Structure 1
Amino acid sequence: MNVRQTIGWNVRRLRVAKGLSQERLALETGIDRSYVGRVERGSENVTVATLEAMAAVLEVEVKALFDPVETPDSPPPSLPSGRKRKTG
């Protein structure tokens, strides 16, 4: 697994753990949603500024995006599809 794939894997893992969609992560970081998808697939060369913005929204240090992937055979889970129900 190369560095871009490792970053993408960790972005997706952390994003899903926080319950954020790609669209929400993109909105909060000020980048395009399709760019987030390309980062998660490991097909985008990410800038340091983008890594900092993503880490801030994900509430982790930038170095967490470089953590080694322990189980590369099983991809991080997806969020349930559809919109969240409004409460209250």
Structure 2
Amino acid sequence: MKSSNASFAKALRRLRKERHVSQEALAFEAGLDRTYISLLELGRRSPTLDTMSAIACALNISLIDLAEAIQASTPPPGE
């Protein structure tokens, strides 16, 4: 799994769970399939900007907040 996918996966799962939202509910609100949300959380898919925007909107956060969560989930260089 690429580190960027892993960072996004970790951030997405954390944000979703903090808001007590199921994968199914998030998928519905974002206009995506539940299995796609699962694949994102497993780091097996790379989201497009449109997908990240839809997920941020469904989580009621800004793209900047989503980007900051991803950055916080990114390990420092060399790890």
Give the letter for the 2:41 counterpart.
E
TM score, norm. by length of structure 1: 0.72
Q: What residue ranges of structure 2 are gaps of 5+ in the alignment?
A: none
- Identity over aligned pairs, percent: 30
**1:65: how far off?**
4.4
Alpha-carbon distance between aligned partners in 2 of 1:20 and 1:66, rounded to the nearest angstrom: 18
Distance in 2 (CA, whole Å) between partners of 1:3 and 1:65 is: 12
Which structure has greater helix proportion? 2
Quick check: 2:7–2:70 contact (8 Å CA) kept in 1? yes
- Rounded Cα–Cα distance in structure 2 between residues aligned with 1:28 and 1:58: 8
Matches within 5 A, 1:39-54: 39-54=40-55
Residues in 2 aligned to 1:37 and 1:47: alpha-carbon distance in whole angstroms: 15
Higher Cα Rg, which structure: 1
For residue 67 of structure 1, give the secondary structure of its aligned residue in structure 2.
helix
Cα deviation, residue 19, structure 1: 0.5
User: What CA distance in whole angstroms lies between the structure 2 residues aligned with 1:58 and 1:68?
Assistant: 17
Gaps of 5+ in 1: 72-88
Q: How does 1:1-88 map to 2 (within 5 A)?
A: 2-62=3-63, 63-69=67-73
Cα RMSD of the aligned pairs, angstroms, is 1.8
Amino acid at match of 1:68: A
